[in-house]
Chains A and B, each alone.
Chain A
Amino acid sequence: MQSEALNFKNAARGAIADPNLRQALSNLETGFVAARSRAAAGLDEFEAMRDVAVDLKNHILANLDFYLARFEERVVAQGGTVHFCATAEEARQTILDLCRDYGAKTVTKGKSMVAEEIALNPFLEANGVEPIETDLGEYIIQLAEEPPSHIIGPAVHKTKDQVSDLFHEHHGKYGKTERLTEPEDLVNEAREVLRQKYFDADVGITGANFLIAETGSTIIVTNEGNGDLTQMLTPAHVVISSIDKVVPTLEDVSTILRVLARSATGQEMSAYTTLSTGPKRDGDLDGPGGFHVVLLDNGRSDLLGTEKQDMLRCIRCGACMNHCPVYLAVGGHTYGWVYPGPIGAALDPHFLGIEEAHHLPNASTFCGRCQEVCPMRIPLPSIMRHWREEAFEKKVSAKSERFGVKTWAFFARRPKLYRLATRIAMRLMGRAGSVRGGRFESLPFASGWTRGRDMPAPEGRTFMDRWMAGER
């Protein structure tokens, strides 16, 4: 996906002015946030489970090479193949080659953020392979020709009315001419339209939430069951995932599953937890003819051993964005690339470069709510701060901003000079403010502030000035 991360400020302005987006995001806030809170409160050991999950992931990351090798060994033993891909280009090409090997004209797809990361759909389309999204949210945004705006709810920015319009516009060719408005009717219509496509597809592509080293299985968790049909009804199942998803054993996966759904949607478990282990064997009633796991690195291994390694613990639950006041104000598209919200602000600069993505880690108040709810306790604000430091060192941010900070710091490092300068400035501002009712409606050097709020005036003499003069 083409990055638009540099356009953050403009995109934010547009998003804030969009009443549909506002409504959609407020549903997200009341829905997922309340559900997560109930789920966390409903399980006494929730916090302890988070700790166990964090320790487990740290152990995996410290032994990633071992578990990946073990995973590949087990996949091969089951009759499947693992394709390690260092870059997005390599992963795209590998998947296209597989599609060609199976003579695929259409492929069905389950939801995968890694597929978004490597911009798989446009690449397949450009090469004569038609991808059909089967996850309802992904299907909606495919019709709308938009990227996902949330990692677990790709169409979360759409209101029900907008979905009604989209289906009405696109489903006429299937003989569905009535504009439906009830969510259940909309889901049923999408299901009917998609059903035949499962049978027609030549390859089914899914993501993976986990790769199990012990068994060579891949796991997806969904609430629609579309992933099952995607992979079972086609001649070949291609899994696109990334190296950080490997987990040692089935037992370990169940540990992480217990925090995943609770953090994501507030469910105890997602409706479907689907394990895929190799292609169809003799005697199996169904299953794919071929089983391929395309494992993307795309710079992830460069994070190992750095202060940003903790990002690799992410299990893509989306809790950070559900709870982020910035995300809830501007929506996912404003971030301009695949991963939005706090985890995007931490991850995207790694994939795009800080020059391209510098707004994302800067557009945070560091309120800390993301870290508070992250099941993997990823220190997201700290990682964002590391990116800010890199941006500052590379002089990526606006000159005026750096000049402002440097000027302020020049005084803050020199207490006597600081005292003198602030004493004069506050007296002037205090005097000006007192004849304006105690606040300024506009200030030339703080127009960003005064565009949408008044600036309270200082009282006048500084505390230090008065204290040093003996006032108590």
Chain B
Amino acid sequence: MNTKSAHRANVGLFVTCLVDLYRPTVGFAAVKLLLDAGCTVEVPESQTCCGQPAYNSGDRADTKAIARNTIAAFEDYDYVVAPSGSCAGMLKHHYPRLFEGDVDWELRAKSLAAKTHELVSFLTDIAGVTEVKAALQGSVTYHDSCSGLRELKIKEQPRRLLGTVNGLSLKELPTAETCCGFGGTFCIKYADVSVEMVSRKAEDIRATEADLLLAGDMGCLLNMAGRLKREGSEIQVRHVAEVLAGMTDRPAIGETEQV
């Protein structure tokens, strides 16, 4: 792996709650990619979640308490990296707003925001990674998760790195920028609407005839995998980091080794 900088950046990995609980493989893939990029990686033990379930439910008091915990856990690192555009966007754009007017915490939130990045865009834009040493025989399609796309402008970075995966061909999803209907607590609170949205998404994904669906956010991936599996689709679903790190030996999301 090529890196521009010789400086060993000390990265605090914000694992994100869904990766921590559902898909530890993505966490280990992130660690591998960061180490390969020449960074040192630490995982602060006092992290839990970025607070979006509370924030998007209108529970500001709990959100602030969770945000203060996250800020305190990560403010000593050179960079904070999360394998999720949604959680990175929360730290980067919403924490500073949350503490507007509370001078001390606003300053700490802004300082954290300035060094927070989503994993793939960190690799390309900050660590200067131009290629990965990974192989995958087959075709993949890619869903642009909303927060990463619109809050962090992540679009071509994952495609650029996927282009260097040996044997991989990309079949673009025409509706790659359309929300899959996950939306955090939305998918439970407005389940009928959410299912309708993800059903349309699944239809579009199947139409690409790709072998594998990738994205950068576990929430969207669980949602789309759940629908594809319910429909009996053979398409495998993985986090993009798994492919970039060459860690596709684990069963895909929603599958087991002996199906």
Contact = CB atoms under 8 A, between A and B. Distances in A.
B136 interface: no
Contact of B254 (A364, A402, A438): A438
A387 B58 CA distance: 8
A451 interface: yes
A463 B44 CA distance: 12
Contacts, number: 217
B256 interface: yes
Given A457-B254, A462-B21, A452 B230 contact: yes
Nearest to A439: B254
B62 A463 contact: no
A366 interface: yes
Contacts of B150: 367-369, 371-372
B215 interface: no
A449 interface: yes
B1 interface: no
B230 A453 contact: yes
B5 interface: no
B57 interface: yes
Interface string A434-470: 1001110100001011011111111101111011100
A454 B254 contact: yes
Contacts of A454: 225-227, 229-230, 254
Contacts of B193: 12, 16, 326, 329-330, 363
22 contacts: A16-B196, A326-B193, A329-B193, A362-B189, A363-B193, A365-B183, A366-B183, A367-B150, A368-B150, A385-B58, A402-B59, A408-B53, A412-B66, A413-B62, A425-B21, A439-B226, A439-B254, A449-B226, A458-B23, A461-B24, A463-B27, A464-B15
Contact of B189 (A369, A401, A409, A462): A401
Interface of A: 9, 12-13, 16, 325-326, 329-330, 362-369, 371-372, 385, 387-393, 397, 401-402, 404-406, 408-409, 411-413, 415, 418-419, 422, 425-426, 433-434, 437-439, 441, 446, 448-449, 451-459, 461-464, 466-468, 471-472
A409 B62 contact: yes
A456 B222 contact: yes
Contacts of A433: 256
A464 B13 CA distance: 11
Contacts of B198: 452-453
Interface string B164-199: 000000000000011101111111111111111111
B-side binding surface: helix, strand, loop or mixed? helix
A449 B195 CA distance: 8
Interface string B60-80: 101001100100000000000
A427 B22 CA distance: 10
A366 B51 contact: no
B62 to A, nearest CB: 4
Given A401-B189, A437-B259, A459-B24, A406 B59 contact: yes
B226 A388 contact: no
Given A368-B151, A438-B254, A363 B186 contact: yes
Given A16-B192, A368-B146, A413-B65, A329 B229 contact: no
Given A365-B182, A439-B225, 10 more contacts: A325-B178, A326-B197, A368-B147, A369-B178, A385-B55, A389-B59, A402-B57, A415-B47, A449-B226, A459-B250
Instruction: Please classify the interface of chain A as helix (H, G, I), strand (E, B), loop, or mixed, using the class held by over half of its residues.
Output: helix
Nearest to B149: A368
Q: Which 3 A-B pairs have the closest CB atoms?
A: A365-B183, A452-B195, A392-B58
A390 B187 CA distance: 21
Interface residues of B, number: 72
Contacts of B45: 415, 419, 464, 468
A444 B69 CA distance: 32
Contacts of A408: 53-54
Contacts of A458: 21-23
A370 to B, nearest CB: 10
B226 A412 contact: no
Contact of B192 (A12, A439, A468): A12
B62 A426 contact: no
B47 A405 contact: no
Contact of B69 (A389, A415, A472): A415
Interface in B201-229: 222-223, 225-227, 229
A404 B184 CA distance: 13
Nearest to A435: B256
Nearest to B46: A415
A382 to B, nearest CB: 8
B48 A415 contact: yes
B59 A456 contact: no
A20 B121 CA distance: 42
B57 A388 contact: yes
Contacts of B255: 437-439
B257 to A, nearest CB: 9
Contacts of B47: 415
B259 A391 contact: no
A445 B185 CA distance: 13
B22 A459 contact: yes
A385 B58 CA distance: 6
Given A363-B193, A472-B28, A409 B226 contact: no
A471 B49 contact: no
A422 B60 contact: no
A461 B22 CA distance: 9
A340 to B, nearest CB: 14
Nearest to A388: B58
A363 B225 CA distance: 22
Given A390-B58, A418-B48, A329 B21 contact: no
